[in-house]
Amino acid sequence: MKKILLYSTIGLMLVSCKKSFTELAPISQRSVQTSYKTQADFTVAVSGAYDALQLNGTYGRIFLLMNEMRSDNVANGAGASGVASTLEDIDRHREITTATEVSGCWTDSYKGIARCNIILDRIDAASFPDALKKQFKGEALFIRSLLYYNLAVLFGNIPLQLNDVNSPSEITVNQVGASKVYEQIIADITLAETLLPAKYTGVDLGRVTSGAANALLGKVYLTAGNKTAAATALRKVISSNNYSLVSDYARLWGGANENGPESIFEVQFKSGGQGEGSGYFEYFASILGRSGGAGGGNSQMSITSDLVSAYATGDLRYAKSIYRNNRLPDTSYVTKYITTQTTAFDGENNWVVLRYADVVLMLAEALGETAESYTLINSVRSRAGLAPISSATPGTFQEKLLAERRVEFAFENQRWQDLLRFGMAKSVMAKHLNIPESSVRLLFPIPQKEIDVSGGKIVQNAGF
């Protein structure tokens, strides 16, 4: 799985598709009508679903901008004019409905969803062992759910497409609120957990497991406000004994540490000039990179002084996450994604979507302020070299937990989602950006072209 196969068959577009569907099955390629019959067909199709998580519009780049840059952890470091102006708009909560990043996120996410829908609609009729069918179905359900989770968090009101489509006439625009999307995800992931193996070995290491399903389920339940159900799902991950905190925080990062004991699910990347490398080195450590700034396609993310000050004295995570030279001119960059690469955007770094520390701290969140919750939080703090906290420590339980999550998961796409889930996005970002709370946008605009192509069946989010 470290070397994801490129998706060589057809990736159907949903809703945004304006071209003739006859273009989707040229003679030189396999047709969706004649493919998806054998184990080999579905092996390639599932690899294509995984590949959708590498796309520029998903974890390849834009999910980072719409989560990490959206928050108070990083700022646009590429300037405020020219090709970088849309990055500045995301950072400052003022993007427009035609922004390239917004449409790219939407398009690539639905491209991945379409790939999963093809698998789920066609796999039962194929001829190969049922055990592998179940695994492939579980993987497709998980990947579709992960994409829908991100879309629901970012856009709120989105079309929920659950079936393969062969022509525009088959598309029924079913725009629903985020709560309905979470209901569907919960149903899908609950099923996926029963279909997926608990672990893999060898070349299959990195595929979706039942532990990943439960970890995502716990996160979705928390986002939907069901803490009791979240705790149940998260305890399954812990009681599986398949995961543990690594002893050294630095051993979470870099090619040698990927898919390790703390890893629950990572988007796999591979350097080597085959188009399978990642660009995180360039995005988070642009001063060392090779891309040449925003003009070279680099979404430079600068560390905010607010995040630097969030680390307590003696926190071992600081030096293993951030390099900072306070001499003039100031030099700072993220060290988590440093890697050896011969060309730009060809890093070995995987993107860690779910790891065990997240499960531990989410369980504390689900339980609320209890002795067990502080034990869970302190297990993470202990690795960071910090003293334990308790109910006697100043601050509310929510404030203490949110602060802990901020430094534990800095630059990992967690901060914006945490601020939303904890109900702190408006107050924190208004202070950070020095703008009124009314100017803080909790949702991104739906791309205008999607509304236009739908004939008005898709409705824009309020405020745009």
CB neighbour list of residue 78: distance below 8 Å, 6 or more residues apart: 84, 87, 88, 293, 294, 298, 299, 300
Residues in a beta bridge with 352: 266
Query: In this structure, are residues 58 and 147 in contact, taking their beta carbons and an 8 Å threshold?
Result: yes
pLDDT of residue 157: 97
Residue whose pair of structure tokens reads 């440093």 in the numeric block: 338
Residue whose pair of structure tokens reads 């109900």 in the numeric block: 423
Average pLDDT for 29-53? 86
- The residue type found at 288 is L
Residues in a beta bridge with 354: 265
pLDDT of residue 332: 87
Query: In this structure, are residues 126 and 39 in contact, taking their beta carbons and an 8 Å threshold?
Result: yes
The helix-helix angle for 371-383 and 356-367 (nearest 10°) equals 150
CB neighbour list of residue 71: distance below 8 Å, 6 or more residues apart: 415, 416, 419, 429
Structure tokens belonging to residue 124: 């039962």
Give the tens place of pLDDT for each residue, 425-459: 999 999 999 999 999 999 999 999 999 999 989 99
Give the tens place of pLDDT for each residue, 358-394: 999 999 999 999 999 999 999 999 999 999 999 999 9
Going from N- to C-terminal start, the domains of the chain cover 1-12+30-75+83-178+192-196, 269-349
Of the candidate CATH numbers 2.30.31.10, 1.10.10.10, 3.30.565.10, 1.25.40.390, the domain formed by 1-12+30-75+83-178+192-196 belongs to 1.25.40.390
216: closest CA among 55, 362, 380, 46? 362
DSSP run (H or E) holding 75: strand 74-76
In 322-437, which ranges are continuous DSSP H helix? 356-367, 371-383, 397-408, 415-421, 425-433
Structure tokens belonging to residue 105: 């996120």
Give the tens place of pLDDT for each residue, 69-97: 999 999 998 888 887 899 999 999 999 99
Instruction: Return the sign of the alpha-carbon dihedral for residues 157, 158, 159, 162.
Output: negative
pTM value is 0.93
Query: In this structure, are residues 420 and 153 in contact, taking their beta carbons and an 8 Å threshold?
Result: yes
CA atoms within 13 A on the CB side of 141: 27
What are the C-alpha distances in Å from 422 to residues 59, 365, 418? 23, 10, 6
Give the tens place of pLDDT for each residue, 197-227: 999 999 999 999 999 999 999 999 999 999 9
Query: In this structure, are residues 355 and 262 in contact, taking their beta carbons and an 8 Å threshold?
Result: yes
DSSP run (H or E) holding 303: strand 301-303
Three-state DSSP class for residue 140: helix
Is pLDDT larger for residue 401 or for residue 1? 401
Which phi and psi angles does 363 have, rounded to 5°?
A: -65, -40
Residues in a beta bridge with 191: none
> How many CB atoms lie under 10 A from the CB of residue 143?
24
pLDDT of residue 331: 80
Query: In this structure, are residues 146 and 216 in contact, taking their beta carbons and an 8 Å threshold?
Result: yes
Does residue 174 carry a pLDDT above 50?
A: yes
pLDDT of residue 293: 66
Does residue 17 carry a pLDDT above 70?
A: no
Residue whose pair of structure tokens reads 């630059």 in the numeric block: 411
pLDDT of residue 340: 86
- The DSSP 8-state label assigned to residue 14 in this structure reads P
Residue whose pair of structure tokens reads 């504390």 in the numeric block: 364
Give the tens place of pLDDT for each residue, 270-315: 999 888 999 999 899 887 866 766 666 688 899 999 999 999 999 9
